[in-house]
Every structure is written in C-alpha cells, then in structure tokens.
Amino acid sequence: MTSLAIIGAGAAGCFAAASLREMMPGGLSIHIYEAGRKPLAKVAVTGGGHCNLTNTFQGVESLEKVYPRGFRAMKRALAAFSHDDTCRWFRERGVALKELRNGCIFPVSMDAMQIVRVLLHGVGDIPIHTGKRLTSVQACGSGGFTLRFSDGSEAGHHLVLLTIGGTRSMPGLPEGITLVPPCPSLFSLKVEDPSLRSLMGTVASDATVGIAGTRFRAGGELLVTDWGVSGPAILRLSSYAARHLSQSKYSGNLVINWISKTYEEAAEAVSSLSASRLTTSTAPEGLSRRLWTHILSRAGVRADIRNRELGAKSVRSIANALVSDTYAIAGRAPFRDEFVTAGGVGLDCIDTSTFQARAVPGLFFAGEALDIDAVTGGFNLQAAWSTARSAANGILKKL
C-alpha cells in the first residue's frame, strides 16, 4: 500500500486528509505529523474563535485584489474547489452557515470548534502524530522520501504533502524547491502620535489608507487603538504592502483619507456645513464629533468659531486634513504574532494543476506553506481548502 505523509495538522493538512479518505477509502496509508501539541489549533482561534470559513467573492473584480501573492495559482485552485464547494462540503456535514458583511461566511454557531470537530471527524482514524517538528525532507534514490524530525526520529513514505502553514523557517527540502523569504502580513500599525492615540476606540466607517510615496492603498473601516490604527482597511493595506513594509523596517508615513473622498469633494462638504452652527458640532456624515474635533485641530482651526467664520484658507486646511492626514509609522502592533505569513515555497517550482513540485515527483504542497496569502475576510482559509483539495486530486492522479 502506498503511504503518504501529511506534514501539518492545520486547515490544509486535515482537509486534504479528509478529502483523500473520502475519495479513496482504504486505498492509501496516510500519516499526519504535527509540530504542535494538538491539531487545528489555529483554526480553533481564527476569526476571534468564530472561524470565517470563506467568502462569497461577490464584488471581487480581480483575484489580485484579494490574493496579492499567488492569485494566478488561486484561479486554478478555485476552479477545482470553489467557495461554493466549500459551503456545500461543510453544509453536507451539518454545519449551518450564514453570510455577514463584506461577504464573510461563518458557521451559524459562530463557534470555530464546530469546524474543528467536523474536520477531525473527516480525518477519522488517520493517525495524527503530535510533537513532530519536521527538520528535513530527503528524496531517496530508489523513490520515496525520508523525513527527519527535531526529536531525532525518522519516517519513510512514498509521497509527502507539506502543509506546515506560515513559518519563519522552512525545513530542509530537496533541490529544485525555491523559497520566497517569509514576512508578516495582516497586522495593525503602530503610531506614536499622542493626539491620534487619544482617540482610542474611535471608528471611521469608510476610510482609505495608503503609504506615502507608494501606490499601496486600501479602503474600509478604520479603528483607532491605544497603539495606533487597526481595522479592515489597515489589515488590507498591510497585506498589499507586506514586503515593502518589511524591507522598510515598518517605517514610513501613513496617509489617512478619513472619508474616502477627493479633495474637491471634501472642500465642498466643509463649505456646505450649516453657517450658524459651531464648527465642532457639525461633523460631516460618517465622522464622529470626537474625530471631527481632532481633524479640526490637525487643520489648525479653532474650536470656538462658527462655520460662517471659516475662510477659504481654513476650508482648504480642513479638506486636506480630511483626505490626507499623515502620521509616522512606528512599527507593527506589538501584542501578538501574525496569523498570516507572506512568502514560502515559490510557485514557479510548482505545477499548480496538482500542486506537485515540478523537480521532485511525489512531493506536494498546500496552504500557507506556499507563497499564497490574502487579505482578511475568509480568503486565506479558502486558499487552504482549495489548494488542499487540488493537492489531494494531484495525489490521486499520481497513484
């Protein structure tokens, strides 16, 4: 019987195992090796413990907008196993799903452990060996592979599927596998400006953010925190600009357009404010009074005047503060490791119809081990499901 080693008991590894068990029951000996103490630990806490399984992809005009790295590979993977297939697979196993804003799809239970249980049920009696951190994969001259682990043990298998997730250091791999240096993605930004941080808890519902001197831009909700800025807009920006920010050592200038409008539109909105009211009491639509007062301060406008007293110069200053408010970036958010890593196994050495290494027959890859990552919203888990199913199909084809 042919034996397969799946390295990593995360979303991609367990889904590949469950898929293979369904498609070829009893015809393949599978072993899963996991570095951690228990399988699916990351899935259990993803989405704040609610598990954003996938996305409807409605309104996604280009896959490059949601997969900054690997969108061409994802086009093939999604053709093999789409977001609709994901929803169908989980519904058939008793998971009721619901759609939230921005097309995000969650279990109705909002309990990630339900997803963990379904995946483990799919894995069934396939053994999961925990505490097994892979240090190298060596191709044998006679065919097959020797796996070496950090505890000194070894294992031999005919086929290997590597699904170790985002990691700062890859195990030793056979020649012919190219690696793209890893770097963090999907993180909040640290801003030390005390006037901004004093707005902790303030939300701008429709902001656009960018990095000065670059073309990196992202839009959506922005949250001011006690360390800087977060929210979907910042997370998307960090995804698009992951490599640029890493190379610049997380410095530069963050430009915030608080209302996602042009300068001309902002100036018109300010000019149309009720003339008889205090400037601080007439915030444009979508801005809290607290944030509006901050913007007026940034523009150098007194808080005790009425809108009729605003001159042309003040209107220009306020419009500029609304659409191009700039703060120095002082690093990444300090409180936890990233859940997504850009980089990994380069897609140039992978056949993305099967996710098998071109130069190493029998060695497959799926999930975050690949140089594929996405913006927030369920797209990263969809990449895990799609690439894992494609790799499972490739393994069956190999057999």
Give the residue-averaged pLDDT of 72-78: 98
CA dihedral 167, 171, 175, 180 (to 10 degrees): 10
User: Phi, psi at residue 140, to the nearest 5°?
Assistant: -90, 145
Range scoring the smallest mean pLDDT among 225-234, 280-289, 312-321: 280-289
Per residue in 257-295, pLDDT (tens digit) is 999 999 999 999 988 887 878 888 888 888 999 999 999
pLDDT at 123 over 60: yes
Give the residue-averaged pLDDT of 204-208: 96
The confidence band for 305, taking pLDDT boundaries of 50, 70 and 90, is confident
The confidence band for 26, taking pLDDT boundaries of 50, 70 and 90, is confident
pTM over 0.85: yes
Question: C-alpha angle with apex 17: 12 to 23, nearest 5 degrees?
Answer: 120
The confidence band for 337, taking pLDDT boundaries of 50, 70 and 90, is very low
Decide if 185 contacts 338 (C-beta within 8 A): yes
Decide if 86 contacts 56 (C-beta within 8 A): no
pLDDT at 51 over 60: yes
Decide if 126 contacts 21 (C-beta within 8 A): yes
Per residue in 363-380, pLDDT (tens digit) is 999 999 999 999 999 999
Give the residue-averaged pLDDT of 331-339: 68
Give the residue-averaged pLDDT of 294-307: 89
What percent of the chain stands above pLDDT 90?
A: 85
> In whole angstroms, what is the distance from residue 399 CA to residue 161 CA?
14
Give the residue-averaged pLDDT of 9-37: 93
The token pair at 368 is 């975050």
Give the residue-averaged pLDDT of 54-69: 96
The token pair at 256 is 């915030």
Give the residue-averaged pLDDT of 344-359: 97
Which class would CATH give 3-184+340-398?
Answer: alpha beta
The confidence band for 329, taking pLDDT boundaries of 50, 70 and 90, is very high
Please return the burial class of 172, using the count of CB atoms within 10 Å of its CB with bins 0-12, 13-18 and 19+.
exposed
> In whole angstroms, what is the distance from residue 326 CA to residue 196 CA?
11
Output DSSP code: residue 302. Answer: -
Decide if 137 contacts 145 (C-beta within 8 A): yes
pLDDT at 334 over 70: no
Look at the block and give the residue holding tokens 């503060």: 321
Q: How many alpha carbons lie under 13 Å from residue 23 in its C-beta half-sphere?
A: 16
Strands 179-185, 159-162: pairing kind: unpaired
pLDDT at 335 over 60: no
Q: Please report, in angstroms and rounded to a whole number, the separation of the first and last CA atoms in the chain.
A: 11
Instruction: Say whether 356 sits in a helix, a strand or coil.
Output: strand
Give the residue-averaged pLDDT of 302-308: 84
The H or E element spanning position 157 is strand 154-157
| pLDDT confidence of residue 275 | 81
| pLDDT confidence of residue 143 | 85
The confidence band for 336, taking pLDDT boundaries of 50, 70 and 90, is low
Compute the mean pLDDT over every residue in the chain, rounded to the nearest whole number.
94
Residue ranges of the domains in the chain?
3-184+340-398, 189-330
**Partners of 6 in beta bridges:** 32, 161
What percent of the chain stands above pLDDT 70?
A: 98
